[in-house]
Structure 1
Amino acid sequence: MSQLTLLLVFIGAGLATFLIRLSFIAVEGRVRLPSWFRTALQFVPAAMLSALIAPDLLMRDGHVDIGPGNARLVAGLVAIVIAARTRSIGWTIAGGMGTLIALTYLLNHALK
């Protein structure tokens, strides 16, 4: 694929994303959206984040891995607990990453 083609794809994708997002902003106030639709929109960010993160936590080497040997899953669960208790993004990231680094080291080096 040439650089010009790639540039056009990026511009097209950016423009499409911009127009989709603009459509909701432009119609706000002019069109009365049903209350069920506005309520459903509140859950879009959490649903999107879950859809992006869940496969990375639950899958390892192309297979579902739900167990203590899955460092990403354990670190994700630790991060969830920290987030629920502290409501702090910084502590959540630090605790989750610290757990992931420690477990990865233990599983790859210390336990072998």
Structure 2
Amino acid sequence: MQRMMIADSSDIVRKVGKRILSEIGFLVSEAGTAQEALTGCRATLPNFLIVDAGLDDALGLIASVRAMDRGKDVKIFYCVIETDLKKMMAGKRAGASDFLLKPFDRKILTSVFGGFAVAA
């Protein structure tokens, strides 16, 4: 089973994301802060990481995960509210693999991650 971590300060976003992604086959963990996410990644590195751009030290979290052993293998999705090229480029420079627009819903998450879940 593929492991996914959602790092977002919103309890509701994490809860909804976890429910949807669990239903399509991911083992999902949550983090409400960048430090909590980093601690979780050090314990068990996920295959996928969704990092909200609004999270304090989101870019530091991405860079720290990339610096870990096997951190280059993690697919990191930088989650932005709108297509903000400056913010997206900062995410890419920090090491984000791709982007995810918020708000997301079942259709979006299934479309983006559905193929990855069955590839476990």
Give the structure-2-normalised TM-score.
0.22
Q: Which has the higher helix share?
A: 1
Q: Which has the higher strand share?
A: 2
Larger radius of gyration: 1
Higher relative contact order, structure no. (Cα contacts within 8 Å, ≥ 6 residues apart): 2
